[in-house]
Structure 1
């Protein structure tokens, strides 16, 4: 299906502002929003305003938000909690500490899960964390099973519940500013529920935490019900199961097909309730012994519970009035060790609560995605250009497949290592960050004689030629540990699984037009743009998905992973010169490229050479003469063919090389080659004895005092003179 009419491809070329202007605009937009929230009551449920700010990394979106929370915190807390979401618990700790430094009188906390590290004790938040891990997915409530429950009017609680730091988070009754991981967007955090929410702030990219899918294999879905399933509903269950599978396999509307089979929404709701009622439950309470809990968990059929929950979720959806677009419920072919199997997939998007104003901050924000997360959100882009020397290769993506090729991968990785070594030397000890995929980093370590024996992160982060190593991915989000580094080298790009990207896109665009899966083979080439350092736009292509919605998400994961890694050096207002080396040809319209070169050019250190292809060929040709007692070449086509036959096999080959290369260009280039190789070099002018005509020019690889003697040996039929330097020729003419 051609969907280009609805989802236009957008080249995200930013409107860059000066850093000081960007910071001023950011503070103004954020202050107006937070001030409005602080001065009004919490809006009615479902009507709360939302603002999405796309802010270049380094402009200061998080620090500005914290500064404004310190300024307006008391007024906000008068209306309720402020919830501040960041990607990880570690970042939550950092943000809370930063706000504490701004105003230590505010009630600030970091929300920690049961399995999280408790900084006060050095242990997990829950003393029974081992049991939590084993049972958290099979009981309706861990609190009621392990901590505290009311039965027959009596409160039963575990011995550790009274002093539990996890439960204590729920007991604080006053409003507070709570920092927590993105994962809490899918559930209410352990804070006081009786206090309303005044403001939610979501920092960094969040949509990957909100999309999910549950799969159930068709053969498992069609299995006979358990004995606990009501007999009177088993006929409806059989019709519903076979009808759902048939509808999905034939591309029919599932609800309409089930109605034809006599199953209306009421009967589907009855099937959902029956699934819920027939599910086995673990009868565990807080005073149970460890032995009893171990026995109950070990003998519990978890697989049957998970399958029943998936059927229940499917029947609940079909029985509801909720719209079912073509992307919510699908049937997928999956390859397994035992062959291809069909799977029913239910895609989900966790809805962000809109009972309070919402502020979303993200360097990679996309207006289409932002509106899917918070419908009706205002969207403002505030972007500043990175200030750095940015060198990008133009001819290779350096994919995992290319770098890890069994036949030629070692040779290719050697070039990467050579570039890394030179960049570390160039930085002079001021810090170089090397970012690649985990697979490539592991092989680079192995190439240097340090294979990964355990595959641990600690092994992977060992330095390579003195460069600090990291890998593409979400752990690079929001990290400021490398802002004082001088350079960053990025090898290849993150390579997400295309089928996974399609699934995530379906979850995000549930009710939109059907998203067709990519078939086998490479992704199609799609048009893109490259922005050069002088502001020039250069057409480029990139392999991406045919569907613009998948393309948007793919860019969020692939291109933005590169941009997020680069942003770790904080290039908006650097205190010293910075350098970015992109060993990947993927166009990045948000990055102004100073130099666009080939991999071979960069490997040989020729990024500033105006004619790198000619340089490398001439250098190779001249190196081939190293064994000769006298060395040099004429720069005419005939001279190249005669003097450097190893590379210029014929006159036509030499003429092709000379096309577009002027004589002075050739002479200058050979002099640069000689200087870089520490060869003496002298220009000579050659003419035939007793003949008129125009002279020819050449270079002898010898010092000036021996140049004419060497020229006589090389070209005995010609008369050689050393021409005056250009400056002296001009002076003589005057």
Structure 2
């Protein structure tokens, strides 16, 4: 499949933003179209059926996609065709969804004095029950088995050899019981919505339920849906017999061979490699301790360590399959280093061929098609945000600049910035987890959802999707960006495209590191675009993943304020982006952080009386060593007035105008309100060298001047 992705460089196309009413109509039409197609598919005969409908709705967060889907799809009576499987990123988002679903679905049957709640959560093994105990007492052991590539149910729960001593009455298994429903009128009543995490899309859990009539996937999953297995090199070498094909393959891996697939093909075919694997496994099986399903927990925990050591089967199978599926010389799936061998693969979806609706503000059809193996119909609904958006374009505010600077000056500047913004209204601050800890002083491994900071509320990226508790806030400050390491990003790209024919174009090593490449980008501003500098990955596939992690996470954080609708309190909302990263947002004001710092310095140098006349400003601040410099500073002050009102000082800033008898035009001055009008006039007279007349400009504001 050819991968097409928009590379964030050059000229950015300006998209038309919809107003809220237009967006709601388009969303309703999209759901109606999907509903019609879903009903047609579910009611068609097997002869008539084609592939089930597959649609992704990419709409700005806050439009109400989830609630709209619930209410509108119910009108199509899709529950009459089977359960609905509803997948969410985590169970933090489940309870609100469950309440919303049951509000719409609960049925009362007076004749039997029964109330049916037709939505429920399917929890993981480690989920706590009402008594605070995990649903599966062996959940930690189950996790280790899963990581070792074992089938947890047949290894730990039940098999031909026996069953777990806790099998009957197991809270985890009880929720998975799904007796076949009669194909009569009661079927339409007893079907339900099962809410599960994304992880269940890749597990056999669903096979224990009857086939659903509809699947809904809420939020993105592609950047998390991959397998990663680290195998010590010594383990691989010990696994291979000296006279085997695999011993030679291990030597290639030990040497860090860059063209691994090419060199392995010179040694053996994929089939020969797999035949040898089976021979070695059969030989080792006689000496390998098998987990006894009937044994007590302590004995099983002692056994599983030896089971975990046998990870060679997925390594060899992945290598053989990659050899068979591609003609590449380089391996994507196998990464060799002095630390060992890393095996990377995309997870495979385990869902039936039924209608699927994906709801994701960051949906990328090319990435989704990797998992579904066919075309995904995308409906894009970009909506205008009702907020004043400010962005600083000359600093990345990277984690390195914030955390590793010797003097900590930039981190302190960020704190001061927040202190100046927060008095104007409830303010949310979002940063990376490391920067959050540095700002707040938190040391706990498990951080709370948020914490008070500088008069604001501080939280971190990757903890906000679907969260509504900040919807009434007035301001948000984004500090830096959630940029992954180049190594981590390339490992993710290797996993997702492990079976792609086209080799990944990887970053070049430069002095022991592989930095992202500088590229030209664009800001989307009110009257078009403005050039920007940013960094990207040279491979368009990896760059698409980078945008899903970096750019999308900043936009998701901003949209926690639910900016598509007017504030219930009538607030004018403001967004401050402390990062030069171009985002898919229309920016109202682009600022320079260095200019802001210089403006603050000038206010202090002028003792709060700043003449916006280049000649007079040079006299007030003698460090401005040329008329050109003074003229530039005056222009910056005039352009940045809306920002100065918030940030320039702890006291209010007012405008006034003044002129000497010889001046034909008025000059402007910015003055802090801790000065009397007489003192201001005297100071401006001294700077002008002759008496000046003074008039207030901000007469509508309360001022002691």
- TM-score normalised by the chain length of structure 1: 0.77
More deviation in 55-64 or 30-39? 30-39
Q: C-alpha displacement at 1:235, in angstroms?
A: 3.2
Residue 483 of structure 1 corresponds to which residue in structure 2?
471
Residue 363 of structure 1 corresponds to which residue in structure 2?
361
Q: C-alpha displacement at 1:284, in angstroms?
A: 4.3
Aligned pairs for 1:258-269 (under 5 A) are: 258=264, 260-261=266-267, 263-269=268-274
Q: Are the aligned partners of 2:261 and 2:328 in contact in 1 as well (CA < 8 Å)?
A: no
Residue 470 of structure 1 corresponds to which residue in structure 2?
459
Structure 2 residue corresponding to 1:568, chosen from 556, 560, 571: 560
Q: Are the aligned partners of 1:212 and 1:504 in contact in 2 as well (CA < 8 Å)?
A: no
> What number of residue pairs does the alignment pair up?
652
Aligned in 2, Cα 1:166/1:317: closer, same or farther, shift over 3 Å? same
Q: C-alpha displacement at 1:117, in angstroms?
A: 2.1
Aligned in 2, Cα 1:178/1:13: closer, same or farther, shift over 3 Å? farther
Aligned in 2, Cα 1:150/1:399: closer, same or farther, shift over 3 Å? same
SS class of match (1:143): helix
Q: Are the aligned partners of 2:252 and 2:260 in contact in 1 as well (CA < 8 Å)?
A: no
The one-character-per-residue Cα deviations of 1:336-381 (angstroms, maximum 9, x if unpaired) are xxxx456454433424646222222210012321222322121221
Residue 524 of structure 2 corresponds to which residue in structure 1?
531
The yes-or-no answer on 1:212 pairing with 2:227 is yes
The one-character-per-residue Cα deviations of 1:111-148 (angstroms, maximum 9, x if unpaired) are 112211234x4321123445445555458443344433
Structure 2 residue corresponding to 1:272, chosen from 268, 271, 277: 277
Residue 124 of structure 1 corresponds to which residue in structure 2?
134
Q: C-alpha displacement at 1:528, in angstroms?
A: 2.0
Residue 371 of structure 2 corresponds to which residue in structure 1?
373
The yes-or-no answer on 1:594 pairing with 2:569 is no
Residue 21 of structure 2 corresponds to which residue in structure 1?
20
- TM-score normalised by the chain length of structure 2: 0.80
Q: Are the aligned partners of 2:3 and 2:366 in contact in 1 as well (CA < 8 Å)?
A: no
Residue 216 of structure 2 corresponds to which residue in structure 1?
201
Separation (CA, whole Å) in 2 of partners of 1:531 and 1:616 = 28
Q: C-alpha displacement at 1:26, in angstroms?
A: 1.3
The yes-or-no answer on 1:305 pairing with 2:278 is no
The yes-or-no answer on 1:192 pairing with 2:205 is no
Residue 57 of structure 2 corresponds to which residue in structure 1?
53
Separation (CA, whole Å) in 1 of partners of 2:13 and 2:669 = 50
Residue 63 of structure 1 corresponds to which residue in structure 2?
67
Q: Are the aligned partners of 2:653 and 2:670 in contact in 1 as well (CA < 8 Å)?
A: no
Structure 1 residue corresponding to 2:247, chosen from 238, 242, 249: 238
Residue 119 of structure 2 corresponds to which residue in structure 1?
108
The one-character-per-residue Cα deviations of 1:620-677 (angstroms, maximum 9, x if unpaired) are 4423xx9xxxx9989574x666x4473245xxx1355247969x989x99x9999967
Separation (CA, whole Å) in 2 of partners of 1:275 and 1:14 = 59
Separation (CA, whole Å) in 1 of partners of 2:345 and 2:360 = 24
SS class of match (1:197): coil
When the two chains are superposed, the root-mean-square deviation of aligned CA atoms in Å is: 4.2
Aligned in 2, Cα 1:5/1:685: closer, same or farther, shift over 3 Å? same
Aligned in 2, Cα 1:267/1:710: closer, same or farther, shift over 3 Å? closer
Residue 152 of structure 2 corresponds to which residue in structure 1?
142
Q: Are the aligned partners of 2:521 and 2:533 in contact in 1 as well (CA < 8 Å)?
A: yes
Q: C-alpha displacement at 1:107, in angstroms?
A: 3.6
The yes-or-no answer on 1:182 pairing with 2:198 is yes
Q: C-alpha displacement at 1:176, in angstroms?
A: 3.7
Q: C-alpha displacement at 1:471, in angstroms?
A: 0.4
Q: C-alpha displacement at 1:555, in angstroms?
A: 0.8
Separation (CA, whole Å) in 2 of partners of 1:222 and 1:290 = 32
Structure 1 residue corresponding to 2:442, chosen from 445, 449, 452: 452
Query: For the pair shown, which has the larger CA radius of gyration, 1 or 2?
Result: 1
Q: C-alpha displacement at 1:283, in angstroms?
A: 4.1
Separation (CA, whole Å) in 2 of partners of 1:88 and 1:317 = 32
Q: Are the aligned partners of 1:87 and 1:203 in contact in 2 as well (CA < 8 Å)?
A: yes
SS class of match (1:454): coil
Separation (CA, whole Å) in 1 of partners of 2:612 and 2:303 = 89
Aligned pairs for 1:391-402 (under 5 A) are: 391-402=390-401
SS class of match (1:51): strand
Aligned pairs for 1:401-550 (under 5 A) are: 401-409=400-408, 411-427=409-425, 431-445=426-440, 451-458=441-448, 461-473=450-462, 475-510=463-498, 511-518=500-507, 519=509, 520=513, 522-532=515-525, 534-550=526-542
Q: Are the aligned partners of 2:202 and 2:347 in contact in 1 as well (CA < 8 Å)?
A: no
The yes-or-no answer on 1:554 pairing with 2:558 is no
SS class of match (2:660): strand
Separation (CA, whole Å) in 2 of partners of 1:530 and 1:249 = 42
Separation (CA, whole Å) in 2 of partners of 1:101 and 1:126 = 30
Q: Are the aligned partners of 1:38 and 1:76 in contact in 2 as well (CA < 8 Å)?
A: no
Aligned in 2, Cα 1:132/1:249: closer, same or farther, shift over 3 Å? closer
Separation (CA, whole Å) in 2 of partners of 1:5 and 1:71 = 37
